[in-house]
């Protein structure tokens, strides 16, 4: 029996099959290697399966403090990606409708007076100002995502959670908890911002509920 092909060797095979340059091959494999190391040497096929139970999620979030705890609550409560969270602006939080709007910028014309308008200020601003390298202007950027990532890992250790936990784990837990509570896959697709429902379908497999999540009438008796 032949030994299984290593992931990076498989990546190299596919890149060469497509005729990409050696520079592209080195760049892709290096970034994949870093990504795997960042996630505790977890295989990419397993990353999407890492979820916490609702109790585990509450334990981890309760072990956090201050602004990082609020960020974690938003990641889990809304299913946001970590960059979507740190880039939230005041105008994107609608307390009347009890919702958060995730937007993509349409260019500079949508950001006229953004430096002084209250609605365009970041919900999670950086502690210090820095020079924006493109226009060379001194301004206050949003908080860096490494802070909440570090705080989440420390909280998981304090809570005794023996799983490879990341900010994306909270997004996975948001999705699986909604499915477990009976929400349909199309609603979940819309909330997660997936273009293709097949991306969302992975969560049905995480729950071991099959493609449709249908319960047999016989089992329901």
What is the rounded average pLDDT of the residues 183-197?
A: 88
Q: Residue 5 has what pLDDT?
A: 75
Same domain, 101 and 140: yes
Classified as helix, coil or strand, 142 is strand
Determine the structural domain holding residue 21 and report its residue range: 8-38
Displacement of CA 205 from its chain's centroid (Å): 19
Q: Could you report the per-residue pLDDT of 23-67, keeping only the tens digit for each?
A: 989 888 888 887 777 655 666 665 555 678 888 999 999 999 999
Quick check: is 142 catalytic?
no
Same domain, 24 and 72: no
Same domain, 17 and 87: no
Quick check: is 168 catalytic?
yes
Whether residue 47 is contained in a domain is answered as no
Distance from C-alpha of 40 to C-alpha of 163, rounded to nearest angstrom:
10
Quick check: is 23 catalytic?
no
Annotated catalytic residue: which of 153, 163, 194, 209?
Answer: 194
Same domain, 33 and 67: no
Annotated catalytic residue: which of 23, 106, 109, 128?
Answer: 106
Same domain, 23 and 100: no
Same domain, 118 and 24: no
Q: Residue 153 has what pLDDT?
A: 92
Same domain, 92 and 13: no
Contact 8, 33 (CB under 8 A): yes
| 46 backbone dihedrals φ, ψ, rounded to 5° | -95, -15
Classified as helix, coil or strand, 98 is coil
Whether residue 142 is contained in a domain is answered as yes
Whether residue 143 is contained in a domain is answered as yes
Mark residue 210 as left, alpha or beta (left: phi above 0; alpha: psi -120 to 50; beta: remaining): left
Q: Residue 102 has what pLDDT?
A: 81
Annotated catalytic residue: which of 68, 149, 171, 172?
Answer: 171
Whether residue 46 is contained in a domain is answered as no
Same domain, 126 and 151: yes
Q: Residue 130 has what pLDDT?
A: 83
Taking residue 111's Cβ as centre, other Cβ atoms within 10 Å add up to 12
Whether residue 24 is contained in a domain is answered as yes
Whether residue 72 is contained in a domain is answered as yes
Q: Residue 67 has what pLDDT?
A: 93
Annotated catalytic residue: which of 81, 141, 153, 209?
Answer: 81
Q: What's the domain count of the chain?
A: 2
Buried b (16+ CB within 10 A) or exposed e, 57-83: bebbbebbeeebbbbbebbbebbbbbe
Whether residue 215 is contained in a domain is answered as no
Same domain, 94 and 181: yes
Quick check: is 172 catalytic?
no
Mean of pLDDT over the chain: 80
Quick check: is 81 catalytic?
yes
Quick check: is 20 catalytic?
no
Same domain, 161 and 127: yes
Domain of residue 165, CATH code: 1.10.443.10
Going from the C-alpha of 79 to that of each of 47, 173, 189, 196, the distances in angstroms are 16, 8, 11, 17
Same domain, 26 and 116: no
Q: Could you report the per-residue pLDDT of 76-121, keeping only the tens digit for each?
A: 999 998 988 998 888 888 887 778 888 654 333 343 465 567 787 8
Same domain, 73 and 126: yes
Tell me which of 1 and 101 has the higher pLDDT.
101
Contact 180, 207 (CB under 8 A): yes
Can you point out the beta strands (E) in the chain? 93-94, 99-100, 130-131, 138-139
Distance from C-alpha of 67 to C-alpha of 15, rounded to nearest angstrom:
42
């Amino acid at each position: 029996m032949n030994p299984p092909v290593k992931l990076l060797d498989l990546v190299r095979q596919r890149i060469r099959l497509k005729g990409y340059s050696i520079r592209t091959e080195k760049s892709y494999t290096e970034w994949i290697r870093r990504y795997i190391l960042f996630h505790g040497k977890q295989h990419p096929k397993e990353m999407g399966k890492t979820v916490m139970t609702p109790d585990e999620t509450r334990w981890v979030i309760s072990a956090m403090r201050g602004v990082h705890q609020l960020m974690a609550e938003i990641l889990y409560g809304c299913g946001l990606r970590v960059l979507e969270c740190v880039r939230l602006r005041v105008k994107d939080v609608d307390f009347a409708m009890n919702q958060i709007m995730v937007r993509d910028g349409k260019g500079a014309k949508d950001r006229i007076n953004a430096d002084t308008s209250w609605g365009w200020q970041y919900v999670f601003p950086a502690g210090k100002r820095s020079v924006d390298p493109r226009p060379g202007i001194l301004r206050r950027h949003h908080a860096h995502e490494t802070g909440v990532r570090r705080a989440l890992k420390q909280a998981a250790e304090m809570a005794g959670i023996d799983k490879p936990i990341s900010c994306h784990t909270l997004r996975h837990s948001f999705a699986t908890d909604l499915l477990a509570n009976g929400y349909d896959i199309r609603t979940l697709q819309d909330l997660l911002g997936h273009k293709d429902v097949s991306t969302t379908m992975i969560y049905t497999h995480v729950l071991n509920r099959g493609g449709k999540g249908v319960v047999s009438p016989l089992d329901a008796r």
